[in-house]
Amino acid sequence: MVDLHLTADVASPGERAAVDAAIGPDGAVVVHESERSIVAGRTRRQSRRHWLLPALHALQAEAGWISPGGLNHVADRLQIPPAEVFGVASFYGLFRTDDPGHTGSVTHVCVDPACEIAGASDLADELERAGSAVQRGPCLGQCERAPARFVQGRGEPDHVPADDAVPFRLPRPGQPHRRLTARLGVVDPTSLDSYREHGGYGALTTAIAMGPDAVIEAVTAAGLWGRGGAAFPTGVKWRAVAAQPGPDKHVVANADESEPGTFKDRLLMEHDPFALLESLTIAGLATGAERGWIYIRGEYPLATSRLRQAIDQARAVGWLGADVGASGRSFDVELRRGAGAYICGEETALFNSIEGFRGEPRNKPPYPTTSGLFGRPTVVNNPETLVNVLPIISAGPAAYRSLGTDDSPGTKLFCLSGSLRRPGLYEVPFGTTLRALLLAAGTEIDRLRAVLLGGAAGTFVGPESLDLPLTLEDARAAGATLGSGAVMPFDDRVDLAAVVTRIAEFFRHESCGQCVPCRVGTTRQHEVLLQLRPGRPLADDRRQLLDDMARVMLDASICGLGHTAAGAVRSALDLGIIGEST
């Protein structure tokens, strides 16, 4: 690296102090340099750059924006070229790179479908009239208490007003098969002692006694697959990383839950944070990784503080550290906050984000199991996937398989929001029908027009699919997806064209811009949908254009965002819920 060339702008004392407090002491995290390798065209010369995101969060909280002086200070402290710091800062929705012109907090209001139905626009207008700085934006992961808002604090901590106002309402009555949510609302999420009283750390103790091989064998035998959307077999992933030599490997909890309509991981982390830590630790010991990371979305302040508290408590008694649970093995966890970028839920974008680069996905192969975080073998799992490991280890794979189907064993968390009376988190055995789930949540079936399964990256199904058993295999056979577990019914009072157009707008807003098919495709797709007029059919050439764009996004985009960006739109067209003359 050559000497940095910085402009004359100087950070304020407050900015300097905030950044210096956020950046850990030199050498706090041991990260090995990777060889020069082709990873999205960039060499990873890694030292302290992974402190960039925490430093930018500190600047944003202190000054309300990433000022030129503040940016220079960060660049100097971390020895990152200022143009690259700017490139990273300007990538994220929660950072601004222009002076906001006010000194107050900013209230983010979700305008995605469930919140819009619940009156998000009115709320935003009302807050603005009351003098708040309002930013309308994508899903905030609070669909069960729509319309959602998140306050990005200035002179006060980031917070979610509903965390204080709405009493916790889990479990909903009538959920007999609760495994993953059994402790929610029961355990004190701020207390390790309470967690232990409710069976906590029993699975880790068992796992240590079993040894890594047997743990991976149990996870494989249980048939667990990833709950983030791709449904990859967890045991296969763990086995691949375990087979890589040496302890310089990573396990990452991908808690960047940003799929519109999805809030399950937030509730798990807020109300049972130790469960995520325990299962991540089991993953680390099983795969031989000494370092765990939790990458949590920036809009989840309560889950973040509860996890931080849990990490501190676990470390204090030796459930994390040099000798985890007297196993003789070392494992510790680092927590990183995202900053408003849906794309960072894509695993390789997540790596780049942690490493202090723009959250742009990498080309695969190489896959994370051989070259992941900092170029090292890495397991990435969603929190819901990870907490499934606890019952698998505690009760064994056979007991785990007593619920669900052969190909989809166990239970699934579904996030219900939209046109229904009882929104919330539902844990049901795989194979439960869509109808049963919707009825449990209070959907008026006779007014139902469509259900969005799996969020914006999912698919619409019509009322004719109500008897679909909710399993991986049945969804695939029906050409649908369970995705992240978001289930959003819409009835005849909802403007479905507006919903679909909003989904297209969401992808346009969240595309990272790296590859042409997605950068331009998501933009053009949204533009075509904006031309939709009620009661007027979509012209043939527009339909052809949508089809052509969908194909190139699916075939030639780098990552899953581009691959799925046209899925919901196409399913809506196929179902005739948009673009028809009716």
Partner 1 sequence: MTSTEAAVTIRIDDTDVALSAGSSILDGCRSVGVDTPTICYADNLTPVNACRVCVVELEGSRTLVPACSRPAEDGMVIRTDSERVRHSRRMVLEFLASSVDLGQADELTAWAEHYGADPGRYGADRAVVSEPVRVQDNLYIRDYDRCVLCYKCVEACGEDAQQSFAIAVSGRGFDARISTEFDVELPESACVYCGNCVAVCPTNALQFRTEFDLRAVGEWRPEDQTVTRTVCSYCGVGCNLELHVQDDHIVACTSPHDHDVTWGNLCIKGRFGWGYV
The alpha helices in 134-233, defined as continuous H runs, are 161-165, 192-197, 202-210, 212-221
User: Smaller CB distance to partner 1: residue 304 or 557?
Assistant: 557
- Shortest spacing between CB 29 and partner 1, in angstroms: 23
Instruction: Identify the DSSP state of 409.
Output: B
* Beta carbons of 234 and 226 less than 8 angstroms apart: yes
Residue 10 or 552: which CB sits closer to partner 1? 552
Residue 429: strand, helix, or coil? strand
291-296 and 250-255 beta bridge pairing? parallel
In the complex, least distance from residue 106 CB atom to partner 1, rounded to whole angstroms: 18
Q: Which is nearer to partner 1, 87 or 153 (CB)?
A: 87
Closest residue by Cα to residue 114 from 82, 89, 143: 143
Half-sphere exposure of 109 (CA within 13 A, CB side): 20
Residues 121 and 241 sit within 8 Å (Cβ to Cβ): no
φ and ψ of 520, to 5 deg: -90, -35
Closest CB 83 distance from partner 1, rounded Å: 4
- Structure-block tokens of residue 49: 């750059």
Is the Cβ of residue 286 or residue 549 nearer to partner 1 in the bound state? 549
Q: Rounded to the nearest 5°, which phi and psi values hold at 218?
A: -65, -45
Task: Tell me the C-alpha distance between 113 and 493, whole Å.
Answer: 13
Question: Least distance to partner 1 from the beta carbon of 549, Å?
Answer: 7
- Cα separation, 504 vs 506, whole angstroms: 5
- Of residues 21 and 83, the one with the C-beta less far from partner 1: 83
Residue with tokens 């992961």: 141
Q: What is the contact surface with partner 1 in residues (CB under 8 A)?
A: 1-2, 4-5, 7, 38, 40-43, 45, 68, 71, 81-87, 90-91, 97, 341, 358, 363, 508-517, 519-524, 527-528, 531, 541, 545, 548-549, 551-552, 554-558, 563
Q: Select 68 or 171, whichever has its Cβ closest to partner 1.
A: 68
In angstroms, give the least distance from the CB of 299 to partner 1: 17
Sheet holding 378-381, edge to edge: 332-337, 291-296, 250-255, 378-381
Check if the beta carbon of residue 551 is closer than 8 Å to that of residue 569: no
Q: How far is the CB of 509 from partner 1 (least distance, A)?
A: 7
Give the closest residue to 105 by CA, choosing from 63, 147, 58, 59: 63
Residue 146 or 512: the one with the smaller Cβ distance to partner 1 is: 512
Burial tier of 6 (Cβ tally within 10 Å: 0-12, 13-18, 19+): middle
Q: Name the residue nearer to partner 1 (CB basis): 40 or 127.
A: 40
Shortest Cβ 380–partner 1 spacing (Å): 19
CB of 337 to partner 1, least distance (A): 18
Shortest gap between Cβ of 531 and partner 1 (angstroms)?
7
Q: Measured from the CB atom, is 371 or 465 closer to partner 1?
A: 371
266, 276, 268, 280: which is closest to 181 by C-alpha?
268
